[in-house]
Amino acid sequence: MFKSVSFNRVSIWYVIVTLLFISFPWSERINSVFILLLVIHWLADKKLLEKMAQLKNHWKSILPFWGFFAMHLLFLYKTQHWQDAMHTMEVKLSWLILPCLFATENYVNALFQKRLFWLFCLSCLLSAIYCVLAYSIHFYPIHQWTYLFDRMYFSYYIMHPGYYSNFFVIAVIYLLLQLFEYKKLSQKETLFSIFMVILFLATLFILVSKTAIIVLVLFFIYLIWKKLESLQQRMLKYFLFISVTVLTILLFSQVPNINKRIAETKHDIEKIDHQIPFANSTGSRIAAWKLEWRIIQERPFWGHGTGNANSLLMSQFEKGQYADLITHQMHTHNQLLHTWIELGLLGLLSLLFMFISSFIYFYKNNQALGMWTVVLLFVYSATDDALEIQSITVFCTFLICLLLFENKKQTLSSHTIAT
């Protein structure tokens, strides 16, 4: 009457990876569980030793990630703040684990990738709907709809809007690449893609993360160039490219929330002194970056040690009497400077090498989505200490490794097991 259900290793991998991917717009704690399950699945293999031996075939791709992680291990001996050091090591475990997992076992093919990203887009859509519902329950009785379009209120019950926006950026980039470059969608898929792009752009204009907007503008410029590069008349091509690019930037700047943030930024830059408030996101960043550069100049080549960047910055704030930034425990807000402070010039170069090597691979293999994931992470690293934040680091590392180590030769018949 009852038949035993047979699973194969690939199917289980598909389920875990799918659940992991669609969990990102919801909670970093949930996706941590699926990362753990993925590790257990990788270890529970009769051919584990044989699989580990395959790592040597991918050493050129793995080395940048492991090298960056190893730099943090190497500089642990200098740390004076073990709690901060352990936090940064924990977050960066993804650079050690995920390349290993996906380099030796990756069953992504074109069909699965399409399904995976459609489910991810659907998850983003549902999470945005959840934000509206959560607002209607918790904030509407007090504020009505007044603050629905306020970035902090909108994503309050999910995560910080700056982190949350990353998922919508990737969703928009994926959908637009499908619409404008690959063009393999049915009519229903095309209409639904357009609907989701409009909805996700509207969500991004509510969240209005500066990093997200910068990446979106760069991506739209990229699309403009791709559409015009086939023109034979060079002067006309460059004229249209410059004209449409300027028009695109002007249109973005006229979106009310973006226009508001631009005005705030202009105003904030003019008021940078020791009395600067933490709420001044641009001004407080600039103040922090100036002080971080002073710290770097003290030990530009050898660094100050893993986990010490924020404490050193706080000491500088105390010397400069930046009262509000001290109260709110302002952190570095720049991964490039953060890494340079802790790991010195060699550490910074290892970080840049990781970005550059991945970008070149995706560029050479015409993998635009991977290329733009690297761009997103780099821009975020230039405006925030992105690799100290789990939700950003794990998401981008997962996506980069999934695409970087894609194995088109894997089939569903391999690694069969029964349960």
Residue pair 159/128 in contact by the 8 Å Cβ criterion:
no
**The pLDDT of residue 410:** 47
What pLDDT, in 10s, does the model give residues 289-320? 999 999 999 999 999 999 999 999 999 988 88
Share of the chain above pLDDT 90, in %: 54
Separation between Cα atoms, residue 380 and residue 382, nearest integer Å: 5
Residue pair 290/330 in contact by the 8 Å Cβ criterion:
no
Reported pTM: 0.89
Give residue 173's pLDDT band: very low, low, confident or very high (50, 70, 90). Answer: very high
The secondary structure of residue 182, as a DSSP letter, is I
Higher pLDDT, 314 or 279: 314
The contacts of residue 385 (CB under 8 Å, 6+ apart) are 309, 331, 332, 333, 334, 335, 338
| Amino acid present at 29 | R
Q: Which residues pair with 416 in a beta bridge?
A: 8
**Is pLDDT of 409 > 60?**
no
Q: What is the mean pLDDT of the chain?
A: 87
DSSP 3-state of 416: strand
What pLDDT, in 10s, does the model give residues 137-168? 999 888 888 889 988 999 999 999 989 999 99
Residue pair 347/123 in contact by the 8 Å Cβ criterion:
no
Higher pLDDT, 75 or 3: 75
CA 210 to chain CA centroid, Å, is 14
Rg (CA), the chain: 23
Higher pLDDT, 419 or 360: 360
**The pLDDT of residue 413:** 39
What pLDDT, in 10s, does the model give residues 256-275? 777 777 776 676 666 666 77
The contacts of residue 219 (CB under 8 Å, 6+ apart) are 172, 173, 176, 372, 375
Give residue 6's pLDDT band: very low, low, confident or very high (50, 70, 90). Answer: low
**The pLDDT of residue 411:** 41
Residue pair 384/334 in contact by the 8 Å Cβ criterion:
yes
What pLDDT, in 10s, does the model give residues 372-400? 999 999 999 999 999 998 889 999 999 99
Six-digit token string for 357: 């090597």
Alpha-helix runs per DSSP H in 178-308? 187-207, 210-228, 234-253, 256-269, 281-298
Cβ burial 181-201 (10 Å sphere, 16+ → b, else e): eeeebeeeeeebbeebbebbe
What pLDDT, in 10s, does the model give residues 119-144? 999 999 999 999 999 999 999 888 88
Residue pair 295/393 in contact by the 8 Å Cβ criterion:
no
Cα angle vertex 112, ends 178, 122, to 5°? 60
**The pLDDT of residue 271:** 66
| Amino acid present at 123 | S
